[in-house]
Amino acid sequence: MNAVSRLAVENGRLEKKAKAEVLLDVVDVTKDYETREGEEIRALDRASLSLADGEFVSVVGPSGCGKSTLLKIIAGIEHKTSGSIAYRGKPDRRPQSGMGVVFQTPVLLPWLTISENVLLPIRVLRLPRKAAAERTRDLLALVGLAGFEGKYPGELSGGMQQRVSIARSLVHDPDLLLMDEPFGALDALTRERMSLELQKIWMSNRKTVFFITHSIMESVFLSDRVLVMSERPGRIVEELVVPFARPRRFELAADPEFNKLVSRIRDLLGASIDV
Amino acid sequence: MYNPAKRRRKRLKNFATNALSLLASVVLVIVLWEALVNLYHLPSYVLPAPKAVLAALIDGLAQSPTSRAGFWYHLGDTLTATLAGFAIGGVLGLVLAAAMAEFRVVERILFPYVAAIQSLPKVAIAPLYIIWFGYQIESKIAMSVTLALFPVLLNTLQGFLSVDRDRIDLMSSLNASRLQTFWLIKLPTSLPMIFAGLNLGIVYALLGTLVAEFIGAQRGMGVMVLQLQSVNDTAGVFAILVLLAIVGYLLIAGVRMVQSRVVFWSGGTTRKPAA
């Protein structure tokens, strides 16, 4: 058990979560870069966290604090310098079915149709296509894009493209969904709507979600837990539990307890910026 | 929104405008040319009248393809060498660029040679090819390959090396093999650059063939230009230049046509692939 979840149990806040099966256990993961001048830079400093099955966890932190690096290490895109990652109790083993990753930009392939884009993980993982075709239609309907199967990415708006990439991240039914500031490139209105949609999608499948954002409101609105990171070298400095029942609505923003959480996070981030 | 009928009408209108202005400028040049020749009584071996050029062109084209005095006999050989040189140079350029982009070792070994040969005026190699391959079509193909290879190689390499990091990350997150990443991402992503190389390659293939024909050959448009020059048949030389311009234009148009089918997603607008 790592430091964060130990703390949670001690505080008695997360007893229920701690009993749920731990999906991902990240312990003391550190990442050092070497710059071209040969200078060592520590991007991530002994980051530890664990995700329970079906949990929605956000990470907020100042830009450049290493939160994207942490996500890329979990996704197997980047190597860690030290520390360990265990997946369902097995150290350094990545899930067979791959993970679902949503990037800040949609990363769709312009030569493939929308449904071919969604099917990309099926092709790469060599999963049966027939069942996947039906699933693709269902997922596109879930993200509000029924009827767009045969279109090309260039014919869709930025928000629609990002929804396609969410459908793509779910098509191979991964246990873990990693989202790296998925709404960062969208305008404020689209962004709010996407938060609501993501909540709907999450409620319909209860995937474990690891969600990176620099929007404090978004993190509190969507998550079961919010992890706050310090400036580089990134460390997880605090964990906050968000108690509100779902479905949550934007009226929550007027709730005093919601605002207490938001200002607590803001203080933490402000403090780390001042340092 | 996408409207095929409207777009087609607009394209037709553009085409008509372009064709008309082109026709007008050609007529103007011919009239001026004819006037110049008549006004200053230029001898026909310096500047033949347009009428004489047209007569030479018709005469050359009217000959049987087996006649050494006709254009077809020579054009066939030039075209064969050009297309063979383009095909070999194109494939070679693509394969070498892929190998250099995928394997650092190959890049390290080949790059100094590529850079060295690239800075050499490659036309100077032609006499060597005559020594090696003789006065037949082989020398022409060799020269054509030499000139067509480099634009394809360098543009393709540039394409492979500038593939969006996010697309590679997406594949890594799905545990994709290197081969999968190459076929599904790198190759299609590089297609616009590959075609930029092929567009240059076809022009250089024709140029290489003509250079080899000037240096030493028994057949070909280059050979014929030298023969006509030696008997002061300037109208004939002009006729061949006109023919070569048309051939060059058609070759480029052919590559462009394939390009617009294959790389339908690239270049400003997003179009559906032609059925």
Residues of B in contact with A98 (CB under 8 A): 173-175
Angle at B41 between CA B37 and CA B42, to 5 degrees: 65
Instruction: State the ipTM, two decimals.
Output: 0.84
Residue B14 has pLDDT above 90, yes or no: no
B chain contacts of residue A121, beta-carbon cutoff 8 Å: 174
Q: Is B271 inside any structural domain?
A: no
pLDDT of residue A16: 45
Q: Are residues A78 and A214 in the same domain?
A: yes
Question: Does residue B148 share a domain with residue B34?
Answer: no
Q: Is residue A42 part of a domain?
A: yes
Mean pLDDT computed over A221-249? 90
SS3 of residue A228 by DSSP: strand
A214 has a chain B CB within 8 A of its CB: no
Q: Can you give the pLDDT at residue B97?
A: 96
B267 located within any domain: no
Give the gap in angstroms from C-alpha B95 to the nearest C-alpha of chain A: 22
Strands (E), chain A: 22-34, 40-52, 56-60, 82-87, 90-91, 100-102, 176-180, 208-213, 225-229, 236-241
* Residue A227 in this model has a pLDDT that exceeds 50: yes
Closest alpha carbon to B87 in B174, B202, B197, B193:
B202
The answer on pLDDT for B238 being more than 60 is yes
- Is there a domain that residue B257 lies in? yes
Q: Please state the domain count of chain A.
A: 2
Average pLDDT, integer, range A235-264: 91
pLDDT tens, position by position, B182-204: 999 999 999 999 999 999 999 99
pLDDT at residue B272 tops 70: no
User: What residue type is B236 in one-letter code?
Assistant: G
Q: Tell me, yes or no, if B166 comes closer than 8 A to chain A by beta carbon.
A: yes
Task: Calculate the average pLDDT of chain B.
Answer: 91
| Confidence at A13, pLDDT banded by 50, 70, 90 | very low
What residues in B contact A77, CB-CB < 8 Å? 169, 172-173
The torsion of the CA quartet A108, A112, A113, A115, rounded to 10 degrees, works out to -70
Question: Higher pLDDT residue, A142 or B6?
Answer: A142
- Please identify, among A154, A173, A192, the residue that sits at the C-terminal boundary of a domain: A173
Q: In whole angstroms, what is the distance from residue B215 CA to residue A51 CA?
A: 74
Query: A98 and B266: CB-CB below 8 Å?
Result: no
**For residue B254, what pLDDT band results from cuts at 50, 70 and 90?**
very high
Give the pLDDT confidence score for residue A257 in this predicted structure.
92
Kindly indicate the confidence band of residue A19, based on its pLDDT and cuts at 50, 70 and 90: low
> Which chain B residues touch A110 with a CB distance below 8 Å?
265-266, 270
Q: How many inter-chain contacts (A to B, CB under 8 Å) are there?
A: 62
Q: Are residues A216 and A137 in the same domain?
A: no
Q: How many domains are there within chain B?
A: 2
Q: What is the mean pLDDT of residues B251-268?
A: 89
B166 in the same domain as B76: yes
> Do the chains contact at A77 and B172, CB–CB below 8 Å?
yes
Candidate ranges A6-15, A85-94, B128-137; pick with highest mean pLDDT = B128-137
For the stretch B69-83, pLDDT in tens is 889 999 999 999 999
Position B81 scores a pLDDT of: 97
**A14 and A130 share one domain:** no
In tens, the pLDDT along B208-236 reads 999 999 998 899 999 999 999 999 999 99
Are A244 and A191 contained in the same domain?
A: yes
Tell me whether residue A109 is in a domain: no
Looking at residue A271, what is its pLDDT? Answer: 66
Cα A70 from Cα A227, distance rounded (Å): 12
Q: Let me know whether B32 and B81 are in one domain.
A: no
Q: Which of A142, A158, A173 is the last residue in one of the domains?
A: A173
pLDDT of residue B271: 45
Q: State which of A156, A173, A190 marks the end of a domain.
A: A173
Q: Is residue B18 part of a domain?
A: yes
Which residue(s) pair with A44 in the sheet? A31, A234
Query: Are residues B257 and B161 both part of a single domain?
Result: yes
Neighboring chain B residues of A185 at a CB cutoff of 8 Å: none
Mean pLDDT of A37-54: 89
Provide the pLDDT for residue A185: 82
Both B150 and B219 in a single domain? yes
CB contact (8 A) between residue B265 and residue A94: no
Q: For residue A107, tell me if it sits in a domain.
A: no
pLDDT of A135 reads 92
In contact, A54 and A224? CB cutoff 8 Å: no
**Residues B216 and B118 occupy one common structural domain:** yes
Mutate to test the interface with B, among A97, A107, A162 (most CBs of B within 10 A): A107
Is A107 in the B-facing interface, judged by CB distances under 8 Å?
yes
* Contact criterion met (CB below 8 Å) for A152 and B272: yes
B267: confidence class by pLDDT, cuts 50, 70, 90: low
Tell whether A148 is within 8 A of chain B (Cβ): no
Q: Among A101, A153, A155, select the one facing B170 at the smallest CB separation.
A: A101
The answer to whether residues B78 and B213 touch, using CB atoms and an 8 Å cutoff, is yes
Q: How confident is the model at residue A7, as a pLDDT?
A: 42
pLDDT in the model for residue B274: 42
User: Distance from CA of residue A53 to its chain's centroid?
Assistant: 14
Asked if B141 and B210 sit in the same domain, the reply is yes
Res. A266: pLDDT tops 70: yes
B175·A76 Cβ contact <8 A = yes
**Do B211 and B75 belong together in one domain?**
yes
Name the residue type at position B157: L
Residue B269 lies in a domain: no
**A90 and A206 belong to one structural domain:** yes
| Chain A residues 167-186 with a CB less than 8 Å from chain B | 172, 178
Binary contact (A109, B176; C-beta < 8 A)? no
Instruction: Please indicate if any CB of chain A lies within 8 Å of the CB of B38.
Output: no
Q: Domain for residue A178, yes or no?
A: yes
Residue of B nearest to A103 (CA): B166
What is d(CA A256, CA A247) in angstroms, rounded to the nearest whole number? Answer: 18
A128 and A242, same domain (yes or no): no
Q: Which of B7, B164, B170 to mutate to test the interface with A (most CBs of A within 10 A)?
A: B170
Supply the pLDDT for residue A224: 95
Helix (H) or strand (E) holding A105, with range, is none
Q: What is the pLDDT of residues B151-192, one digit of tens each?
A: 999 999 999 999 999 999 999 999 899 999 999 999 999 999
- Domain carrying residue A145: 114-173
Any idea what the CATH number is for the domain that residue A78 is in?
3.40.50.300
Three-class SS state of A189 = helix
pLDDT averaged over chain A?
A: 86
- The answer to whether residues A78 and A88 belong to one domain is yes
Q: How far is A12 from chain B (nearest CA, A)?
A: 35
| A41 — pLDDT class (breaks 50, 70, 90) | confident
Q: Is the pLDDT of residue A226 over 80?
A: yes
Range of the domain at B8: 1-41
% pLDDT > 70, chain B: 95
Residue A10 has pLDDT above 70, yes or no: no
A154 contact residues in B (CB cutoff 8 A): 265, 269-270
Query: Percent of chain A scored above 70 by pLDDT?
Result: 89
A104 within a domain of the structure (yes/no): no
How many CB atoms within 10 Å of residue B36? 12
Alpha-carbon distance of B34 to B15, in angstroms, equals 29
Residues B151 and B175 in one domain: yes
Q: Which candidate from A76, A110, A152 shows the least CB-CB separation from B173?
A: A76
The confidence score (pLDDT) of residue A11 equals 43
CA distances (Å), origin A99, targets A102, A175, A210: 10, 7, 11
Determine the pLDDT at residue B151: 95
H-helix or E-strand spanning residue A236: strand A236-241
DSSP E strand boundaries for A78-139: 82-87, 90-91, 100-102
Is residue B150 assigned to a domain?
yes
| A248 plus A213 within the same structural domain | yes
Q: Which residues of A touch B191 (CB under 8 A)?
A: 111
Q: Is A105 a member of any domain?
A: no
pTM: 0.83
CB B78 within 8 A of CB B220: yes
Of residues A57, A30, A41, A75, the one with CA closest to residue A174 = A75
Return the closest-CA partner of residue A49 out of A8, A21, A90, A13. Answer: A8
CA–CA min distance A169, chain B (Å): 10
- Claim to verify: residue A130 and residue A264 sit in the same structural domain: no
For residues B145 and A274, which has the higher predicted lDDT (pLDDT)? B145
Q: Which of A72, A123, A154 sits opposite B265 (nearest CB)?
A: A154
> Testing the interface with B: which of A111, A125, A176 to mutate, by most B Cβ within 10 A?
A111
For residue B270, is pLDDT > 60?
A: no
Residue A77 burial by Cβ neighbours in a 10 Å radius (0-12, 13-18, 19+): buried
**A23 confidence band (pLDDT: 50, 70, 90):** confident
- What's the whole-number mean pLDDT along residues B18-29? 92
- So what's the pLDDT on residue A91? 80
Residue A97's pLDDT band, with cuts at 50, 70 and 90, is low
Considering the domain architecture, whether residues A48 and A137 belong to the same structural domain is answered as no
Which of A71, A152, A162, A181 to mutate: most B Cβ within 10 Å? A152
Q: Is residue A184 part of a domain?
A: yes
Q: Which of A241, A229, A99 is nearest to A173 (CA)?
A: A99
The pLDDT of residue A17 is above 60: no
